[in-house]
Structure 1
Amino acid sequence: MKTFKNPIIPGFYPDPSICRVEDDYYLVTSSFEYFPGVPIFHSKDLVHWRQIGHVLDRPEQLNLDQTPYSRGIYAPTIRYHEGIFYMITTFVVSPTGARRNFYVTATDPAGPWSNPIWLPDAPGIDPSLLFDDDGKVYYTGNRKPPAGQLYKKHNEIWLQELDTETGKLIGEKYSLWDGALKNAHAQEAPHLYKINGWYYLIIAEGGTGHTHAVTIARSKSVTGPYEMTETNPILTHRHLGKQHPIVNVGHADIVQTQFGDWWMVCLASRPYGGYYRNLGRETFLVPFVWEDGWPIVNPGKGVIEPEMEFPHLPEHKWPAQPLHDSFESTKLADQWNFIRTPRGDFWSLSERKGHLRLKAKPENIMEEENPSFVGRRQQHINFYAELVVEFKPEKATDSAGLVLLQNHNYQIRVEMVSENDQLAVKLTRREAGEDQQIARQPLSINKIYLGVEAVGQDYTFTYATELSEWRVLAEKVDGRILSTDMAGGFVGAYLGMYCSGNGEASTAYADFDWFEYQGRE
Structure 2
Amino acid sequence: MIGLCQRLHSQNYYQNPILKGFYPDPSICRVGSDYYMVTSTFEYFPGVPIFHSKDLVNWNQIGHVLSRPSQLNLDSVRISGGIYAPTIRYHNGTFYMITTLIGTKQGGNFFVTAKSPAGPWSDPQWLPKEAIGIDPSLFFDDDGKVYYTGNKKPINQAQETRYRQIWLQEVDLKTRTFVGERSIILEEGALHGAHNAEAPHIYKKDGYYYLVIAEGGTADNHAVTIFRSKNISGPYEGNKKNPILTHRHLGVNYPITATGHADFVDTQNGEWWMVLLGIRKYGGLHYNLGRETFLAKIEWQDGWPIVNPGEGKVLAQQLKPNLPEFNITQENLRDDFSSDTLFHYWNFLRTPRTDFWSLSKRKGFLRLQLGKAQVSELAAPSFVGRRQQDSSFTAETSLQFNPKKENELAGMVLMMNGNFQYRLEKILQKGKPHVQLIKRFKGVDEVVNTIAIEKGDLVMGINAKGQDLDFYIKQNGKKQNLAIKADGRILSVVNAGGFTGVYIGLYASSKGIASSNYADFDWFEYKGL
Contact 2:27–2:86 under 8 Å retained in 1: yes
Deviation of residue 507 (structure 1)?
Answer: 1.5
Distance 1:148 1:457 in 2: 42
1:156 equivalenced with 2:156 (yes/no): no
Per the TM alignment, residue 321 of structure 1 is displaced from its structure 2 partner at its CA by 2.3
Pairwise CA distance, 1:150? 9.4
Report SS of the residue matched to 1:402. Answer: strand
Q: Tell me the TM-score normalised to structure 2 length.
A: 0.96
Q: Determine whether 1:138 maps to 2:147.
A: yes
Structure 2 residue aligned with 1:497:
506
Structure 2 SS opposite 1:480: helix
CA distances 1:261-282 after superposition (whole Å, capped 9, x unpaired): 0000000000000111100000
Aligned partners of 2:189 and 2:363: how far apart in 1? 64
Instruction: For 2:185 and 2:430, locate their aligned partners in 1 and report how far apart those are by CA, in whole Å.
Output: 66
Whether the 8 Å CA contact 2:201–2:263 is kept in 1: the answer is: yes
Q: 2:143 matched to 1:126? A: no
Shift in CA distance, 465/299, structure 1 to aligned 2, threshold 3 Å = same
Q: Distance in 1 between matches of 2:307 and 2:278?
A: 15
Contact 2:83-2:99 within 8 A present in 1 as well:
yes
Q: Which residue of 2 aligns with 1:210?
A: 220
Query: Contact 2:189/2:197 (CA < 8 Å) preserved in 1?
Result: no
Q: Is 1:437 aligned to residue 469 of structure 2?
A: no
1:244 maps to a residue whose letter is Y
Question: Is it true that 1:391 corresponds to 2:401 in the alignment?
Answer: yes
- CA shift digits 1:402-448 (9 cap, x unpaired): 00011111000000000111110111110001111111110121420
The equivalences for 1:186-197 within 5 A come to 186-197=196-207
Asked whether the 8 Å contact 2:190–2:225 carries over to 1, the reply is no
Alignment of 1:24-173 (within 5 A): 24-93=34-103, 100-120=108-128, 121-148=130-157, 152-173=161-182
Structure 2 equivalent of residue 332 of structure 1: 342
- Equivalent residue number for residue 513 of structure 1: 522
CA distance in 2, matches of 1:149, 1:312: 49
In the alignment, is the contact (CA less than 8 A) between 2:164 and 2:189 conserved in 1? no
| Distance (whole Å) between structure 1 residues aligned to residue 513 and residue 41 of structure 2 | 30
Q: 1:447 to 1:180 in 2, by over 3 A?
A: closer
Q: Is the 8 A contact 1:93 1:100 kept in 2?
A: no
- The verdict on how the C-alpha distance between 1:93 and 1:180 changes in structure 2, with shifts beyond 3 A counting, is closer
Question: Does the CA-based 8 Å contact 1:99-1:124 persist in structure 2?
Answer: no
Instruction: Kindly report the root-mean-square deviation, in angstroms, between the aligned alpha carbons of the 2 structures.
Output: 1.4
How many correspondences in the alignment?
A: 517
Distance 1:497 1:511, change over 3 A: same
Q: Is the 8 A contact 1:445 1:465 kept in 2?
A: no
Q: CA deviation at 1:182?
A: 5.2
Structure-to-structure mapping, 1:253-332, within 5 angstroms: 253-332=263-342
Deviation at 1:17, TM superposition (A): 0.2
Q: Is the 8 A contact 2:371 2:515 kept in 1?
A: yes
Partners of 2:491 and 2:257 lie apart in 1 by 18
Show the counterpart of 2:4: none
Letter aligned with residue 474 of structure 1: A
Q: How many angstroms does 1:152 deviate by?
A: 3.6
Shift of 1:325: 0.4
Q: Partner letter of residue 101 of structure 1?
A: N
1:514–1:20 distance in 2 versus 1, CA, 3 Å:
same
Contact 2:62 2:118 in 1 (8 A): yes
> In structure 1, what is the Cα distance between the partners aligned to 2:496 and 2:188?
36
Consecutive unaligned residues of structure 1, counting only runs of 5 or more, are none
TM-score of the pair, normalised by structure 1: 0.97
**Corresponding residue SS for 1:362:** coil
Q: Which amino acid aligns with 1:265?
A: V
Sequence identity, in percent?
55
CA deviation digits over 1:49-94, x for unaligned, max 9?
A: 0100000000000000010010100000000001100000000126
Tell whether 2:434 aligns with 1:416. Answer: no
Q: Which amino acid aligns with 1:126?
A: D
